[in-house]
């Protein structure tokens, strides 16, 4: 699209690789909306996914990134993929696909605006103004209509972004995750002091058992050496095989981020008798720590909780990070101080009858999610007199 007069010429373009978008312009744009840096929408992270073929047409994630350009500069952008299935998204719509196809339609391919294999809320449509973001959201729906796609989905967006998209006619869906919030703690014991006596004793006991005979270390940046990466790949393969049948990410993905994102990585490793037996990889954002990948080749009591949650809390306190986002699912996180929060996604459905049915389903689902969050918040281990933090709803 283009405007006359003195306004810069605008056009919307689809690129089949993140490499076709200028890295500096992309990164400047996604960090320009005022939110702290999110590593998963960075050019480096998305490029590693594509270069490793983890996100590719062959894997069912054909890159179709949307750019709004003004005089050859990126003014707004959205990481998008043409999907031939619904795996690796963490906003589950398999039952939508089944219903659509039972009615005689073709649900796939669909258009997805998200970060592959990454259930982390963050910017999806980035632009310097709401007008630009709205233009890209409209373009997503228009592209789907032109290509006769069943739907468009924008996963793990902020509450503000969800409200904007709802005003444009998108259907909004809620989910639940578990995040840990830093209430100004100076050390881990300050966090423990906020827990009920029974919960505090339980966590101390499980940490003692997890550390019995095991050396646990936190590595950052270039201190994550070849030995640690070699072991971590074995851990990740084990977890991927058990969860999904095969790991989503290729080994070359980890090799690339080790070079291009070293300053944003923190790995926890557990060692027993000179052998690395478990590990977790975290990403460091502007104000948050993101727990992403975990695995182990030896099963020991409470080791998962120590490596993934307690070590992350200690690190976040040391770095003064506001929160930890530990990914999808896992009510066991509540006992370790993580709290339920609402997540948001937006959906555009082409078929009007199916759209009405989905809207009705989402209304019922939202009531159930709200009730679930309220119940889960009552189960947190914090003392009743302990200050509560502000949390996203």
For the chain, domain boundaries: 10-176+341-377, 183-321
For the record, the structure tokens of 175 come out as 């989910």
Nearest to 78 by CA among 165, 192, 206, 191: 165
CA–CA separation, 72 and 31 (whole Å) = 19
Backbone phi, then psi, for 175, in 5-degree steps?
-140, -170
CA–CA separation, 60 and 107 (whole Å) = 14
Nearest to 53 by CA among 20, 9, 3, 17: 17
- Predicted confidence at residue 36, as pLDDT, reads 81
- Predicted confidence at residue 50, as pLDDT, reads 98
Nearest to 65 by CA among 123, 117, 18: 18
Query: Which residues are paired to 101 by β-bridges?
Result: none
Query: CATH number of the domain at 183-321, please?
Result: 3.40.630.30
Nearest to 132 by CA among 181, 172, 73: 73
Contact by Cβ (8 Å): 323, 392: no
- Predicted confidence at residue 242, as pLDDT, reads 66
List per-block mean pLDDT (blocks of 10 residues) for the chain, which spans 393 residues: 55 96 94 82 98 98 96 93 96 97 96 97 91 95 96 97 97 96 96 96 97 97 96 87 76 97 97 96 97 92 96 98 88 94 97 97 97 94 75 45
Burial of 391 (C-beta count, 10 Å sphere; 0-12/13-18/19+): middle
- Predicted confidence at residue 3, as pLDDT, reads 46
**10-176+341-377, CATH topology level:** Aminopeptidase (3.40.630)
CA–CA separation, 49 and 173 (whole Å) = 26
DSSP collapsed to 3 states, the chain: CCCCCCCCCEEEEEECCHHHCCHHHHHHHHCCCCCCCCHHHCHHHHHHHHHCCCCCCCCCEEECEEEEEECCEEEEEECEEEECCCCCCCCCCHHHHHHHHHCCCCCCCEEEECCCCCCCCCCCCEECCHHHHHHHHHHHHHHHHHCCCCEEEEEEECHHHHHHHHHCCCEEEEEEEEEEECCCCCCHHHHHHCECHHHHHHHHHHHHHHHCCCEEEEEEHHHCCHHHHHHHHHHHHHHHHHHHCCCCCCHHHHHHHHHHCHHHEEEEEEEECCEEEEEEEEEECCCEEEEEEEEECCCCCCHHHHHHHHHHHHHHHHHCCCEEEEEECCHHHHHHCCEEEEEEEEEEECCHHHHHHHHHHHHHHHHHHHHHHHHHHCCCCECCCCCCCCCCC
- Predicted confidence at residue 387, as pLDDT, reads 67
Backbone phi, then psi, for 323, in 5-degree steps?
-160, 170
């Amino acid at each position: 699209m283009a405007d006359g007069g003195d306004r810069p010429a605008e056009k919307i373009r689809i690129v089949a690789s993140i490499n076709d978008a200028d890295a500096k312009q992309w990164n400047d744009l996604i960090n320009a909306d005022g939110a702290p840096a999110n590593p998963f929408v960075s050019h480096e992270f998305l490029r590693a996914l594509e270069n490793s073929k983890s996100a590719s047409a062959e894997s069912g994630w054909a890159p179709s990134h949307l750019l709004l350009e003004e005089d050859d500069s990126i003014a707004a952008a959205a990481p998008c993929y043409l999907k031939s299935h619904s795996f690796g998204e963490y906003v589950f719509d398999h039952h939508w696909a089944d219903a659509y196809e039972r009615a005689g339609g073709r649900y796939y391919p669909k258009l997805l605006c998200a970060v592959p294999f990454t259930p982390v809320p963050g910017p999806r449509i980035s632009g310097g103004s709401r007008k630009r973001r709205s233009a890209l959201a409209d373009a997503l729906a228009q592209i789907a209509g032109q290509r006769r796609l069943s739907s468009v989905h924008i996963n793990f967006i902020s509450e503000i972004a969800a409200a904007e998209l709802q005003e444009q006619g998108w259907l909004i869906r809620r989910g639940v995750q578990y995040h840990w919030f830093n209430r100004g703690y100076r050390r881990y014991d300050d966090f423990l002091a906020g827990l009920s006596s029974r919960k505090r004793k339980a966590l101390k006991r499980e940490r003692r058992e997890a550390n019995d005979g095991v050396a646990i270390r936190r590595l950052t940046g270039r201190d994550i050496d070849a030995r640690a990466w070699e072991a971590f790949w074995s851990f990740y393969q084990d977890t991927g095989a058990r969860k999904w049948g095969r790991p989503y990410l290729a080994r070359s993905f980890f090799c690339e981020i080790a070079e291009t994102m070293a300053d944003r990585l923190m790995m926890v490793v557990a060692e027993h008798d000179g052998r690395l037996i478990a590990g977790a990889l975290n990403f460091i954002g502007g104000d948050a720590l993101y727990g992403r990948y975990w695995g182990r080749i030896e099963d020991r009591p409470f080791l998962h909780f120590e490596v993934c949650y307690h070590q992350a809390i200690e690190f976040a306190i040391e770095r003064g990070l506001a929160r930890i986002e530990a990914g999808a699912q896992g009510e066991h996180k509540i006992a370790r101080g993580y709290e339920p929060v609402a997540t948001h996604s937006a959906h555009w459905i082409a078929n009007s009858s199916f759209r009405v049915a989905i809207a009705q389903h989402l209304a019922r689902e939202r009531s159930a999610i709200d009730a679930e969050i309220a119940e889960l918040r009552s189960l947190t281990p914090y003392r009743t007199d302990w200050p509560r933090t502000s949390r996203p709803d």
